[in-house]
Amino acid sequence: MDHDATLYAGIDGGGSKCSAILFNGKGEVVAKGLAGAANAARDLPKTLNSIVTSIELALKQANLGAEHISRVHVGAGLAGAFVPNINAQLMAWKHPFARFKVSSDLTTACLGAFGGKDCALLIVGTGSSAARMLDGQLTQLGGHGFLLGDKGSGAWFGRAIVTSTLEALDGLIALSSIHKHIMKTLSVTNSTDLVQSMIGATPSQFAMLAPHVITFAKQGDNCAVALVEDGVDYLNKLCLRALVDIDLPLVLMGGLAPSLEPWFSTVIRERIVKALGGPEWGAMRLLQSELEIV
């Protein structure tokens, strides 16, 4: 490729990973890179490192050396970037790029999903959040982080099943198949070992247990079913608030969304449409004024 042409990168940063897509000036995909977690409110230094690493990996895929990073104009949508003091630190970052523009992951997801037009959005990954884009104004719902919210998310399901397993081991509830499976997965045999294994776990580590919960719920395990129904009940309510009484399309995003979709209410499922583009595309559109795209 042209070693002198200007490059653009769209970044989607969340609790488990940081995804970078490298574009040329016409909006065509050049290369991709994937790095570690990028929740700015939880660990800003790690987030900044993940952004740089993901772009370096994309440059490598494009057969460009790391020194070309100074040519890249970067638009980033990051979990936690909506928090004012975090956003201020991001804007003050002495980055290595040609330009760096940042917004919340919800903003860039909306830009990618429906080109910034009116829509409702639900993201279910490591965390959970919803948004409504109406007349150019974004309203965020949920997305309060692992400690304060994110119900129905991967991290929430993971923590919930660990807590439930501990209750079962204490004899407070019946020990079910999912509890035994979680213990086997984590290579533990008692509550002390389980606590030791998970007490310092990150949201992304908890989220790794979520697919097990959903799998066992599909098989009819009572405990897993109860957890999924509880989480999805919250997500249903989030969607209804995002949709209000307006005939908005609803876009689902995030790694856990497809497996949870069958559990949503009929009212919600009937409003779901396919996204026009991903959050990386939306992040790149933060720089749209510089691009040759419409």
156-188 pLDDT, tens digit each = 999 999 999 999 999 999 999 999 999 999 999
Q: Judge if 102 and 81 occupy the same domain.
A: yes
Q: Judge if 100 and 47 occupy the same domain.
A: yes
Q: Judge if 252 and 170 occupy the same domain.
A: yes
pLDDT in tens, 194-224: 999 999 999 999 999 999 999 999 999 999 9
Domain range for 79 is 7-115+276-290
Model confidence band, residue 135 (pLDDT cutoffs 50, 70, 90): confident
Q: Could you tell me the CATH number of the domain that includes residue 34?
A: 3.30.420.40
Q: Judge if 160 and 257 occupy the same domain.
A: yes
- Indicate the SS3 state at residue 45: helix
145 occurs within a structural domain: no
Cβ atoms of 257 and 123 closer than 8 Å: yes
Q: Judge if 97 and 170 occupy the same domain.
A: no
122 occurs within a structural domain: no
Cβ atoms of 39 and 47 closer than 8 Å: yes
Q: Judge if 15 and 104 occupy the same domain.
A: yes
Q: Judge if 167 and 227 occupy the same domain.
A: yes
Q: How many domains, the chain?
A: 2
The single-letter DSSP state of residue 251 is E
33 occurs within a structural domain: yes
75 occurs within a structural domain: yes
What's the pLDDT at 267?
A: 92
Q: Judge if 206 and 170 occupy the same domain.
A: yes
Q: Phi/psi of residue 189, each to 5°?
A: -125, -10
Model confidence band, residue 293 (pLDDT cutoffs 50, 70, 90): very low
pLDDT in tens, 22-36: 998 888 899 999 999
pTM: 0.81
Could you tell me which residue, 250 or 106, shows the higher pLDDT?
250
